[in-house]
Amino acid sequence: MTRVGVPNARIGVVAGGLGAYWPQFDGLKDRIDDSSRHVIARIADLGATVVDAGLVSDVTEGVAAARLLAAQDLDLIVMLVPTYMTSAQVLPILRDVDVPMVLLSLQPDRKMDHARFGTGDWLAFAGSAGLPEIGVAMDRIGKKPRAIAGWLDDPRVWRKVTRYVAAARTTRLLRTARHGMMGHLYPGMYDIATNITNVVKVLGGHVEVLEFDDLRVRFEKVERQAIDRVMAAVESGFELAPGVDTDNIRFQSQVSAALDQLVDDYALSTLAYFHFGQPGDIYGKLATGFPIGATLLTSRGIPTVTEYELRAAIAMLVTSALGGGGTLTEGQALDFDAGVVELGHNDAADLAITEHRPVLRNLEVFHGKGGGGASIECGVALGPVTQFSITERGNGRLRFIASEGEAVDGPHITIGNTTTRIDFGCDPGLWTEEWAISGSTHHWSMARGHLAADLEVLADLVGAEFERVQP
């Protein structure tokens, strides 16, 4: 399966310096231009499309740069502060371009050559003189100051810049994402009820409200060849447990093909669904047929989740964009002997991050839902993992919640669920307490890798709160 790509971030780069210096110190402007080209090349190497606004030496050039940058559909601006400059020079950019900005102060090397340097040489290292002034200007006009300081090839600096580029790429994905909500809220699950307007306000994108009839009409038009293609994917991607119902697998394959068509027709980035239906009607039957199709879509980078969990689907989209994949997760149990928390869910998995080939196991009853059939059983690959939840607080604000741990080996229950054993480095009861009071809803994304720092930067760029749970 080909995973859906993530768009390149569009990042504007502008450098600055006090124009009065250029005629006073030969070679200073050339040195700053060299630094700017170096920064642009490194940001481009991170997978960004870079818009170079040049060097701002005075207010007039600042106005021109602001006009250029404002017209470029940018996700982030990196302002290079290699030497001192006045805040007035770049105030037009700070004021007129409504894009998150990072101030980047990079001196050419780790330290000055104190015995040899003159004033012009020093000024190439003097970005730290101008940085606070620009930060004050940003605060006074209501823009959040962000600053990174170091030297040109400082590994610490470039780890931070890499996070900003990844976050900017993800904000572009979110701004253009289309989220499907099909069916209705699982009765009584008030924590996952979502203010759609609020989500779109903060994260961007669009929410398409769909009916199960939209799936039904496509299900009825699925051709045999499409079913056979899904069956072939099932055969290559899953292990069939003894007693699994092959007729149910074929039915789910038809549902899967219909879901593919639905996703294509509405250009969906995610799909959250739920429906009970009545015994024997087509809608109730369709509602039982998602495990295979939801898994295949999720594994293509189109999170498809049960129980109408829009924000968990978006969380999975985010962690997937950051390179960690994402599988729908909730609490299962605590193993106090092993010191681990067991997490997982039923229905769908992300095949890109599983430890072993997933098993299709037949269940007579999908707990808490209608019907039964083949269900997905697997766990996330051993090693570092991140739990990521997007919650909506009582005051309407979105909060990003992250927690890092290690997926470890051990026994799993065999009930057709995605189960992973996580060591959070503390008593499992303590972690559960802290996660419970963080505001997380009872569904979230589990991803591979440690992504908390990346998620914190993303929260900053979109204007969401951030909390890290790490007892």
For residue 346, the model assigns a pLDDT of 84
> How large is the average pLDDT for residues 135-163?
97
Residue 136: pLDDT over 80: yes
Res. 435 pLDDT band, cuts 50 70 90:
very high
DSSP secondary structure string for all residues of 183-220: E-PPTT-GGG---HHHHHHHH--EEEEE-HHHHHHHHT
Q: What is the pTM of this model?
A: 0.95
Is the separation of the CB atoms in 215 and 290 below 8 Å?
no
C-alpha torsion 260→264→265→267, nearest 10 = 130
Q: Enumerate residues 6+ apart whose C-beta is below 8 A from 171.
A: 9, 75, 76, 204, 458, 461, 462
Q: How many CB atoms lie within 10 A of CB 116?
A: 7
Mean pLDDT, the chain, integer: 96
For residue 8, the model assigns a pLDDT of 95
Which three-class secondary structure state does DSSP give residue 456?
helix
Tell me which amino acid residue 33 is.
D
% of the chain with per-residue pLDDT over 90: 94
Q: What is the C-alpha to C-alpha distance for residues 212 and 214, in angstroms, rounded to an integer?
A: 5
For residue 370, the model assigns a pLDDT of 77
Do 10-174 and 177-468 agree at the fold level? no
* Listed residue (432, 442, 237, 451) closest to 325, CA to CA: 451
For residue 81, the model assigns a pLDDT of 97
Domain spans in the chain, listed from the N-terminal domain onward: 10-174, 177-468
> How large is the average pLDDT for residues 74-79?
98
Token couple for 395: 């005051």
The per-residue b/e assignment along 226-251, b for 16 or more CB within 10 angstroms, e otherwise, is bbeebbebbeebbebeeebbeebbeb
Residues 323-353 pLDDT 10s: 999 999 999 999 999 999 999 998 789 999 9
> How large is the average pLDDT for residues 271-289?
92
Residue 1: pLDDT over 80: no
For residue 369, the model assigns a pLDDT of 80
Least confident stretch, 128-142, 254-268, 360-374: 360-374
> How large is the average pLDDT for residues 298-308?
97
> How large is the average pLDDT for residues 212-235?
97
For residue 86, the model assigns a pLDDT of 97
Res. 56 pLDDT band, cuts 50 70 90:
very high
CATH for 177-468 is 3.20.14
Residues 237-256 pLDDT 10s: 999 999 899 999 999 999 99
Res. 63 pLDDT band, cuts 50 70 90:
very high
Residues 311-328 pLDDT 10s: 999 999 999 999 999 999
Residue 283: pLDDT over 80: yes
Q: Does domain 10-174 have CATH number 3.40.50.10940?
A: yes
Residue 363: pLDDT over 90: no
> How large is the average pLDDT for residues 224-232?
96
Which three-class secondary structure state does DSSP give residue 245?
coil
User: 157 vs 154, 233, 350, CA distance in Å?
Assistant: 5, 43, 32
